[in-house]
Structures are given as structure tokens and as C-alpha cells.
A and B are shown apart, each in its own frame.
Chain A
């Protein structure tokens, strides 16, 4: 088993956190994991992306040329990384911000209005957790329990935010 996941969107949408949470959850389950951020001139409002690889075997490189999964939070990243997805790959698109989802007949495409759903919950920054929820529903690459544990380890002392993010995760899975 080996899954290469790219999370991409605007800076500030929490796409780096998506990658870190998935990697940490994988590690908690005893799998090999790597997390690799885009680094450099990224700023809030600009584009950002992270690559997470979860595998049962050693991971030669944390860089993915053709990922299995793309969690696209905005339009530019959907276009940029959608074309690079592996044949038959999975695209989860934040349809609140992506009007025209990248067209490729070989892909499985899941549209979820993550930003609007998060707004309804009362915190638009929970959209990233809704995206993770939607991904877990389609493919249980890691368990919900591990994801929750990873969140609490990575964001200690943010228990107030935890309630809303917990709801967001579950909402994504509906």
C-alpha cells in the first residue's frame, strides 16, 4: 500500500495542516510516512501545497510527480495539480471556490462545498477538516480515531477549536 496525497489551496486555508495531520495519523498507525511542504515565497492569499505519502514500505522520496489523491481547496491548485494526478486518481474539490472542476474522464471526482459548510459551522477555517472527512469517507487510508489523535497532538492547547473541527471532520464524512 502506498498513497501519495497532495493538498493545495490558498495560504491560510490550512492545506499544510491537512498534510501534517494525515502524516501524523499514518505514523500513529505504524505506517511509513513523509510530509513535504512547498517552501519559499508562499504568503497568505498565495498558493501553498503539501505532499504526504503514507506507505507500508520505505518511501524513497517525499516528492510526488503523479499523486494518487488531490485535495484541492481553490481553483488554481485544482488546475495545477489536477493535471498531474495519476490515471484513475481521486480528486476532492472544494466546490465553494472551484466552479469548473478540472475535466478528466479517468478521475473519481468528489465535489464538496467545504468553505460554505465550514461557514455554516461558524468557522470557515475548518474547511480543511471537512476535506479530510470527505477523503476518509471515500477511502479509509487512516482511521478517524488516528486523525483526531493527530489533531490534538499537532494543535495542543487548542481544545476550544477542537469541538468545531471535530464536527467539521464528521460533516465531511456525511
Chain B
């Protein structure tokens, strides 16, 4: 394994650019965006690369316009992407709801910053609720992927396009200012995009019956039926697409739970605890929706404690409480507004619980 890794040529790129290159390699030829820190390098990168590969780059007049351009491009069968950061993602929510309702593939990148409101430009994990619990109106779900290093930014962006096409559903890459701005070595592996047939695309109805893509269902029972079919799809996604990294769950007294940037620190803290003889493990969800519920539900040991570490005031912790089913054993460590945890501080909390 190591020799294979050694053979792979690695480059040093900032995370935002890594996402852009993965999208290009995954066959994305339509990018629409509006600038906002800390994701501007992605928009700038796409401006350069789309021209090189003969794609479409458009800096729109607003976030709202960008997401609706994604909707349009996707309806015509293109692999389309938009990106923004927290306040800009809020503006896109109407479009995301429409895309989900119309069952169109789309990849949306959120390089999170501090909120609420315009907040600040510091790294944060402030948008978990918005990403996994809805964001826009209506009973819909989007697949949410949470990378924690540059390699995952690359690999998961490629995966996002395949999942979006497979399920005709929006997929969000939920990164943050650290991941977007940081440079670390990444192997730009060859990506083989999955070719999914799209018999629904709008290409003009010459010599064939017309097709219709919409999210408006006024006829009696029509919307109910549509929702039932969406729910059926979400159940399929939940059954097949959960992704999660775990370490020493069975042997641990304390299980740390974290995703994204805070997962890097949490893993280091668990290692530190182990070196000091504490029985610790971790769960790192990679899909935040579908959430890796079974990992928690299947754990029958009623003595295990969970420490959820987030760069916010406690959002994913609610899902962990729900799945563990015993709030007394679920603990939280985190703050909002640009706070970044330290390995030692997470370790101290693990130690206290052990």
C-alpha cells in the first residue's frame, strides 16, 4: 500500500483548487458562482480551467442566479456545479429546494465560515443543520459529504457528481475555511466518471414526445405521490450510501465523534489518549446525510460515552444523541465564530470521561 502511495505523484494545491480540479476531471463543464471568502480560489480556478477545457464559466449577478443556472444546465443533462460560503449558501436554498423537487443532479460546495448573518470569514462548521436538515422548504434531502483533508476533497468531489447523477439529487460538499485555504499534498488520481443514462433531459422534443421537469404539482394527490416517490428514493440512499470511518469502537470506553476539520484534531486526540492508556476510539462520519446511524444504534454497550467535537455550538451532537438514545452518555465540546479546537484540549475532555 505504501509503495503505491509513494509512486503516486502528489502536488501541493489549496483545497479550493483541489475541489475545482476534481470537478473538471469528473466531467463538470458548467460552473456558475459568485465570489465570497473563503472559497474564492475555487471560483478563480474554474474561471481559468473552464476556458481550458471548453466548458462554461459564468460569474453570475448573484448566488440566486448561480444556483438557478445550475438547475438549467442540469436539466439539459450537463454536470453542473456551484460553490459559495455560508451566507451565499443561504441565498441558494430556494434553488436547492427546486432542484431537489425536480429531481435534478447538482453539486453544491459550501466552504463554511462563521455565522449567523454575514458572520466572519474564519473557518467554522456552522451549517450542519442547514445542510442535513433541509435548508430550503419542503420535505427533501440532499446528500452531504464531509471531507477532512485535501485528498478527500478530491475524491469526494468526484463521488459527488456520480451520486448526483445516480440518484438525480443535489449533493453538497460541506467543507470549511481551513480545508478550502490549506495546502497539503494531494494525488490527482485519474477519475473515471460514472456514465448514467439520463432519459429525462430536455434536449428539444423534435421527433419524440415532450418531457417535463417541474416541482409544481397542482392536481389532486399529485404532490403526495411525488413526495412518496422522493421518500422512497431517500430510503434507497440511506440503505446504500452511508460512508463513515471508525476506529476501535468495540474496545473504547470513550468514542469521539467529529467530521471535517475537527475530525483531524479529534483523531490526533484519540491517538494521544491511547498512548496514555485510555481506551478511546472515534467515529468520523463522511456522509452527514445519510448519517451513519447504524454505527451508533448497533453498539449495545450501555457504558460507552460519546464526545462530539464540532466547530459550532452543538449541531451534529443532536443526531448522535438521537442515535445513541441516551443523552446522559453524549457529551459536547465546541464553540462557534471561528474557534478551532486544539488536540490537547480534546484529549483532556476524553480523559475526563474515561
- Which residues of chain A come closer than 8 Å to B183, judged between CB atoms? 20, 23, 34-36
- Check if A60 sits within 8 Å of B10, measured CB to CB: no
- Select which of A34, A58, A62 is within 8 A of B268 by beta carbon: A58
Bound-state CA distance A40–B10 (Å) is 27
Q: Across the interface, name the chain B residue whose C-beta is closest to A66.
A: B342
Q: What sequence of 0s and 1s flags, for each residue 7-43 of chain A, a beta carbon within 8 Å of any chain B beta carbon? A: 0000000000000100110010010111111011000
A62–B181 Cα gap in the complex (Å)?
10
CB pair B181 A59 closer than 8 Å = no
Cβ contact within 8 Å between B265 and A36 = no
Q: Count the A-B residue pairs with Cβ separation under 8 angstroms: how many?
A: 58
- Residue A61 interfacial (CB < 8 Å): yes
Given the known interface contacts A35-B184, A40-B121, the answer about A61 and B12 at a Cβ–Cβ threshold of 8 Å is no
Number of interface residues of B (CB under 8 A): 22
Q: Which B residues lie within 8 Å of A37 (CB)?
A: 181
A40 and B37 contact, CB distance less than 8 A: yes
Contacts of A58 in B (CB 8 A): 264, 267-268
Q: Does B185 contact A (CB under 8 A)?
A: yes
A65 close to B184 (CB less than 8 A): no
Contacts A59-B184, A62-B178, A62-B182 hold; do A33 and B265 have CB atoms under 8 A apart?
A: no
CB of A62 within 8 A of CB of B184, answer: yes
The answer to whether A65 and B342 have CB atoms under 8 Å apart is yes
- Among residues of B, the one whose C-beta sits closest to the C-beta of A31 is B185
B337 at the interface (CB under 8 A from A): no
Give the chain B neighbours of A60 by CB distance below 8 A: 264-265, 267-269, 343
Q: Is the CB of A39 within 8 A of B12?
A: no
Give the shortest distance, in Å, between A2 (CB) and chain B (any CB): 11
Is the CB–CB distance between A61 and B340 below 8 Å?
yes
Q: Decide yes or no whether B261 CB sits under 8 A from chain A.
A: yes
Closest-CB distance, A147 to chain B (whole angstroms): 14
> What's the nearest-Cβ distance from chain A to residue B232, in Å?
41
Across the interface, which residues of A come within 8 angstroms of B269, CB to CB? 60
- Shortest Cβ distance from residue A68 to the other chain B in the assembled complex, whole angstroms: 16
Across the interface, which residues of B come within 8 angstroms of A40, CB to CB? Answer: 37-38, 121
One of A32, A33, A63, A65 near B178 (C-beta < 8 A): A63
Contact flags B15-52 to A (C-beta < 8 A → 1, else 0): 00000000000000000000001100000000000000
Verify B12–A24 contact, CB threshold 8 A.
Answer: yes
Give the docked Cα–Cα distance between A76 and B201 (Å). Answer: 58
Contact of A34 among B10, B184, B340, B343 (CB under 8 A): B184
Chain A nearest CB, measured from B40 CB (Å) = 9
Which of B12, B38, B340 interacts with A33 by CB under 8 Å?
B12
Chain B nearest CB from A63 CB (Å) reads: 5
Bound Cα distance from A59 to B150, whole angstroms? 12
**Apart from A33-B12, A39-B177, A59-B264: 10 A-B pairs, beta carbons within 8 A:** A23-B183, A34-B184, A35-B183, A36-B178, A58-B264, A60-B265, A61-B264, A62-B178, A62-B184, A63-B178
User: What would be 19 A-B contacts, judged by CB atoms less than 8 Å apart?
Assistant: A23-B183, A27-B10, A32-B185, A33-B12, A33-B184, A34-B183, A34-B184, A36-B181, A36-B182, A36-B183, A58-B264, A58-B268, A60-B267, A60-B268, A60-B269, A61-B178, A61-B264, A61-B340, A62-B178
